[in-house]
């Protein structure tokens, strides 16, 4: 599973560091010896190693156990292409990958440890077997990158920063693990707790603060199974945090530490990125829940269809609550009809929708718009923000009917 | 305490109703007999009563026990004027009042009841004495209307709806009561709980859903004291909900019921108002935390000052975390200096800031901008939204130095 990744994504990586200072920083960050060994095995950090020849995207994907048709969006970041968005539960090998650092983390289950520290009555040092001995649960939830659909932002007043995702930085899966609150209860959270800082096993700076009131929601979990299989390493296995509905950055991959602190965490991934930055640079609010969104996945954009009956289909989701209604337009938004929700799995999951259409010759612009249990909906245009997060504008699919 | 309020705020009121149908609706909404009696005593609902002559604003304020200098913003809505924003703890008689219905609710403590229903193991019917027997706590927190500073929104693409507040729809107080979670624990929240719907004692439709993960935050309280005195009736006494940091609508006044439900609550005050509505009418997200903001309260706008040393002072707050830094500019934002935080009381409270200034003859434009523990700050211009919520743009104070 150890790959030698090309180095063309340096902008998103912490600065280079010597092997010795890396070990020191990992130890200072509370990484356990097995995790340090794992990080050192990863070539992105193995400064002493002689790099292989730059691998192809297909080679990287094969090494990660992923479908070779995923779209490379950077050496550690791969998108599910539109033509593969057909399953209600996204197959593990087609699920998108987004990493802020290296992606080929290899922490064997029997070496994985989780340190629980900070404002707790009892510090914990849990093994995978400890987790497995707890009460498991399974939920179905979508998981999307905060930058999902970023490519749809306009370039005014400036191009937005970040991976120019299409609509494939999202997947839906059954996740099995334990509620984070069960672990926090075992540690005994002290009064004054404000956030839980999760430490990723990929690099020392991969730390994210999660408000304690969210961390104690039973739907927030540590998961180790995805669609009934071991959580794949590129998606955070052996164990990742899962914060359903929130932008993916909250769901720390390869989680190896949890520190309960008495203040909001002011780390890079809470304050410099994953925040809404306005046109003059003010940081106005954090990125948290993914807003209501929907995409038509069939037909695909620029499809040529025979005239006659067509089933328009796609997926809709919201981090604020379950999807209540989806509407479809075949005349570029002039009129709308309610679509049928044909597959669903609770409020944390996306839904599949379908609407029949009698396609007549000519061109047509298809659109979908969803509404959630809170009555929230989709804008025609999402508020521009400098890093291009939370893009949920109504998606337009042009087709030709022959 | 019963007043006959002028009826010039009908747009914000539920439609008129006969006394008999009102009793039926109150009973159906689960109001207890004493609360129904209280509502009927209130003249805004007493259709059978012969109204007095329309009272003056001063008369209404005197009847409510409020300072006569509060600014009338509608018959049930009064703002703290800028010249009274001098105290770190806002005096009770100067604290703003905002009501979506009648304001002169009169529920004696010994008649007040709280019904706890829905997804609970044990329904509760609590008296004020029951609350007092629980473990009390006191916190210092600001409380602001979601529409605070709405008057600063521009009229493009359209005038925003709602009370054209200045900066005085906010106050800071010590609140004493019990954590809501202690009551929920006594009732025993069942699995599947999604929101807690609070029922105001003012009218049946005054219901607000609060996500369960917020409702179980120990800082969310039922309070009955404000600055060491009984919570004044116009501010929600005998008992109100307090959700620190969130727009005031979350802090249901005269709370008489709590219902735990298994879905997001889709009531008017969650889905039609207190939501961000964009330029084409899409409801894009709920109003929750008040964003980082600050106001200079001394000197006041258009002040004429003698040249020489001046202390610029004001208050800063954020619903996302404690205030970490405040900066002041005396040249309309060209340069900034850090202000001293001279009074604070934890992250839920506002802070008082001061900065020395050597004023030279001429005109000057003063500004302040605050940053919270999450690194969030204030925009130059707040995103327009149809109902004018969450206005936190940098406030500009023009002065003349003689």
* A216 shares contact with chain B (CB less than 8 Å): yes
- A9, part of any domain: no
Q: What is the Cα–Cα distance from B356 to A284, expressed in whole angstroms?
A: 27
Residues B236 and B317 reside in one and the same domain: no
Mean pLDDT of the region B303-332: 98
Nearest Cα of chain A lies from the Cα of B81 at a distance, in angstroms, of 27
Mean pLDDT of the region B137-152: 98
Higher pLDDT, A60 or A29: A60
DSSP-assigned beta bridge partners for residue B209: B197
- A223, part of any domain: yes
Q: What is the Cα–Cα distance from A82 to A299, expressed in whole angstroms?
A: 10
Q: What is the Cα–Cα distance from A113 to A37, expressed in whole angstroms?
A: 13
Quick check: B270 and A375 CB within 8 A? yes
Comparing CB atoms, the residue among A264, A373, A377 nearest residue B374 is A264
Using CB atoms within 10 Å of the CB of residue A1, give its burial: 0 to 12 exposed, 13 to 18 middle, 19+ buried.
middle
Residues A264 and A316 reside in one and the same domain: no
Is there a contact between A364 and A305 (Cβ–Cβ < 8 Å)? no
The per-residue pLDDT for A23 is 72
- A347, part of any domain: yes
- A94, part of any domain: yes
- A1, part of any domain: no
Comparing CB atoms, the residue among B216, B282, B375 nearest residue A379 is B282
Comparing CB atoms, the residue among A191, A291, A374 nearest residue B270 is A374
Q: What is the Cα–Cα distance from A285 to A272, expressed in whole angstroms?
A: 11
Residue window 290-349, chain A: list those with CB within 8 Å of chain B. 291, 320-322, 347
Is there a contact between B287 and B275 (Cβ–Cβ < 8 Å)? yes
Residues A63 and A81 reside in one and the same domain: yes
Quick check: B285 and A217 CB within 8 A? no
* A123 shares contact with chain B (CB less than 8 Å): no
The token duo for A386 is 């400098």
User: Does the pLDDT value for residue B305 go beyond 50?
Assistant: yes
Q: What is the Cα–Cα distance from B295 to B307, expressed in whole angstroms?
A: 22
Q: What is the Cα–Cα distance from A135 to A149, expressed in whole angstroms?
A: 36
The per-residue pLDDT for B44 is 46
Range of the domain at B150: 50-286
Higher pLDDT, A86 or B50: A86
Quick check: B320 and A214 CB within 8 A? no
The 10s digit of each residue's pLDDT in A96-150 is 999 988 887 889 999 999 999 999 999 999 999 999 999 999 999 999 999 999 9
DSSP letters along B147-193, please? Answer: TTTGGGS--SSSPPPS----S-SEEEEEEEEEEHHHHHHHH-BPTT-
Mean pLDDT of the region B234-252: 98
A158-190 burial code (b ≥16 CB/10 A, e <16): eebebbbbbbbbbbbbbbbbbbbbbbbeebebe
Q: What is the Cα–Cα distance from B296 to B315, expressed in whole angstroms?
A: 7
Most confident of A36-40, A72-76, B85-89: B85-89
Is there a contact between B330 and B336 (Cβ–Cβ < 8 Å)? no
User: How crowded is residue A83: how many other Cβ atoms within 10 Å of its Cβ?
Assistant: 11
Residues B118 and B179 reside in one and the same domain: yes
Assign residue A348 the CATH number of its domain: 2.60.40.650
Comparing CB atoms, the residue among B216, B283, B373 nearest residue A376 is B283
Question: Scanning the structure block, which residue is given the tokens 């090494």?
Answer: A63
For residue A249, give the nearest of A145, A169, A389 by alpha carbon. A145
The per-residue pLDDT for B8 is 35
Mean pLDDT of the region B364-388: 97
Provide, as residue numbers in chain B, all residues whose Cβ is less than 8 Å from the Cβ of A379.
Answer: 278, 280, 282, 284
Listed residues A234, A259, A286: the one ending a domain: A286
Mean pLDDT of the region B91-120: 93
Please state the three-class secondary structure of B297-364 as a single string: EECCCCEEECCEEEEEEEEEECCCCCEEEEEEECECCCCCEECEEEECCCCCCCEEEEEEEEECCEEE
Please give the ipTM for the structure prediction.
Answer: 0.85
Question: Scanning the structure block, which residue is given the tokens 């794992």?
Answer: A38
Residues B57 and B127 reside in one and the same domain: yes
Mean pLDDT of the region B116-126: 97
Q: What is the Cα–Cα distance from B227 to A248, expressed in whole angstroms?
A: 42
Mean pLDDT of chain B: 91
Residues A201 and A333 reside in one and the same domain: no
DSSP letters along B207-244, please? Answer: EEEEEHHHHTSTT-EEEEEETTEEPPGGGTTT-EEE-T
User: Does the pLDDT value for residue B396 go beyond 60?
Assistant: yes
Most confident of A10-14, B33-37, B149-153: B149-153
Q: Which positions ≥6 away from B228 have C-beta within 8 Å?
A: B174, B176
CB hemisphere CA count around A188 (13 angstroms): 4
Indicate if the alpha-carbon torsion angle A269, A273, A277, A280 is positive or negative: positive
Mean pLDDT of the region A293-301: 98
Q: What is the Cα–Cα distance from B195 to B215, expressed in whole angstroms?
A: 8
The per-residue pLDDT for A43 is 39
Assign residue B182 the CATH number of its domain: 3.90.420.10
Listed residues A268, A286, A304: the one ending a domain: A286
DSSP letters along B66-92, please? Answer: --TTSEESSTT-EE--GGGTT-SS--G
Comparing CB atoms, the residue among B272, B282, B285 nearest residue A380 is B282
Is there a contact between A36 and A25 (Cβ–Cβ < 8 Å)? no
Is there a contact between A5 and A103 (Cβ–Cβ < 8 Å)? yes
In chain A the first and final C-alpha atoms are separated, in Å, by 48
Residues B313 and B381 reside in one and the same domain: yes
Q: What are φ and ψ of residue A257, in 5° steps?
A: -150, 150
Quick check: A375 and B280 CB within 8 A? no
Provide, as residue numbers in chain A, all residues whose Cβ is less than 8 Å from the Cβ of B346.
Answer: none
Confidence of residue B34 (pLDDT cuts 50, 70, 90): low
Q: What is the Cα–Cα distance from B301 to B151, expressed in whole angstroms?
A: 15
The 10s digit of each residue's pLDDT in A228-285 is 999 999 999 999 999 999 999 999 999 999 999 999 999 999 999 999 999 999 999 9
Listed residues B253, B286, B319: the one ending a domain: B286
For residue A310, give the nearest of A324, A322, A296 by alpha carbon. A296
Helix (H, G, I), strand (E, B) or coil at A355: strand
Confidence of residue B41 (pLDDT cuts 50, 70, 90): low
- A47, part of any domain: yes
Residues B321 and B244 reside in one and the same domain: no
Confidence of residue A50 (pLDDT cuts 50, 70, 90): very low
In chain B, the number of structural domains is 2
Mean pLDDT of the region B354-375: 97
Confidence of residue A18 (pLDDT cuts 50, 70, 90): low
Question: Residue A35 belongs to what H/E stretch?
Answer: helix A33-41
Helix (H, G, I), strand (E, B) or coil at A209: strand
Helix (H, G, I), strand (E, B) or coil at A182: helix
The token duo for A344 is 């669903």
Residues B302 and B194 reside in one and the same domain: no
The 10s digit of each residue's pLDDT in B205-225 is 999 999 999 999 999 999 999
Confidence of residue A309 (pLDDT cuts 50, 70, 90): very high
Provide, as residue numbers in chain A, all residues whose Cβ is less than 8 Å from the Cβ of B285.
Answer: 291, 320, 376
Q: What are φ and ψ of residue A20, in 5° steps?
A: -65, -45
Mean pLDDT of chain A: 91
Higher pLDDT, B48 or B374: B374
The per-residue pLDDT for A3 is 34
**Residue B59: C-alpha distances to residues B2, B93, B223 (Å):** 12, 14, 28
The per-residue pLDDT for B71 is 97
Quick check: A321 and B285 CB within 8 A? no
* B275 shares contact with chain A (CB less than 8 Å): yes
The per-residue pLDDT for A338 is 98
The 10s digit of each residue's pLDDT in A208-238 is 999 999 999 999 999 999 999 999 999 999 9
For residue A153, give the nearest of A384, A395, A398 by alpha carbon. A384
Nearest Cα of chain A lies from the Cα of B322 at a distance, in angstroms, of 8
CB hemisphere CA count around A150 (13 angstroms): 22
- B171, part of any domain: yes
Lowest mean pLDDT of A29-33, A309-313, B71-75, name the range.
Answer: A29-33
User: Does the pLDDT value for residue B93 go beyond 60?
Assistant: yes
* B244 shares contact with chain A (CB less than 8 Å): no
Q: What is the Cα–Cα distance from A81 to A91, expressed in whole angstroms?
A: 13
Question: Scanning the structure block, which residue is given the tokens 């690099």?
Answer: A203
Residues A311 and A234 reside in one and the same domain: no
- B380, part of any domain: yes
Quick check: B376 and A286 CB within 8 A? yes
Residues B171 and B276 reside in one and the same domain: yes
Nearest Cα of chain B lies from the Cα of A217 at a distance, in angstroms, of 6
Residues A177 and A245 reside in one and the same domain: yes
The per-residue pLDDT for A76 is 86
């Amino acid at each position: 599973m150890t790959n030698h990744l090309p180095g063309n994504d340096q902008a998103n990586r912490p600065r280079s560091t010597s092997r010795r200072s890396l070990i020191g920083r990992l130890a200072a960050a509370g990484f356990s010896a097995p995790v340090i060994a794992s990080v050192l095995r990863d070539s992105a950090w193995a400064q002493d190693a002689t790099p292989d020849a730059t691998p192809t995207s297909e080679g990287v994907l094969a090494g990660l156990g992923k479908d070779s048709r995923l779209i490379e969006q950077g050496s550690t970041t791969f998108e599910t292409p539109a033509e593969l968005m057909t399953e209600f539960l996204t197959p593990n090998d087609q699920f998108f990958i987004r990493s802020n650092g290296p992606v080929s983390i290899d922490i064997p289950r029997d070496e994985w440890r989780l340190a629980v520290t900070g404002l707790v009555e009892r510090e914990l040092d849990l093994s995978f077997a400890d987790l497995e001995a707890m009460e498991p649960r399974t939920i179905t939830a979508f998981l999307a990158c905060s930058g999902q659909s970023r490519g749809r932002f306009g370039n005014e007043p400036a191009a937005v920063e970040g991976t120019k995702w299409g609509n494939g930085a999202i997947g839906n899966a059954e996740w099995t693990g334990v509620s984070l609150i069960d672990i926090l209860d075992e540690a005994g959270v002290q009064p004054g707790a404000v956030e839980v800082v999760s430490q990723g096993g990929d690099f020392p700076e991969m730390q994210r603060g999660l408000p304690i009131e969210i961390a104690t929601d039973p739907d927030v979990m540590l998961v180790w199974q995805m669609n009934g299989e071991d959580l794949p390493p590129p998606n955070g296995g052996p164990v990742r945090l899962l914060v359903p509905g929130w932008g993916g950055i909250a769901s720390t991959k390869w989680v190896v530490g949890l520190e309960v602190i008495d203040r909001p965490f002011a780390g890079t991934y809470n304050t410099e990125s994953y925040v809404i930055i306005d046109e003059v640079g003010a940081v106005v609010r954090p990125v948290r829940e993914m807003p209501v969104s929907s995409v038509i996945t069939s037909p695909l954009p620029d499809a040529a269809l025979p005239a006659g009956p067509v089933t328009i289909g796609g997926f809709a989701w919201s981090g604020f609550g379950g999807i209540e209604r989806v509407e479809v337009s075949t005349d570029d938004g002039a009129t709308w009809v309610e679509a049928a929700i044909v597959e669903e799995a609770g409020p944390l999951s996306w839904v599949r929708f379908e609407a029949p259409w009698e396609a007549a010759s000519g061109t047509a612009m298809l659109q979908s718009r969803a509404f959630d249990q809170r009555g929230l909906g989709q804008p025609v245009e999402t508020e521009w923000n400098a890093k291009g997060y939370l893009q949920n504008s109504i998606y337009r699919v042009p087709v030709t009917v022959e």
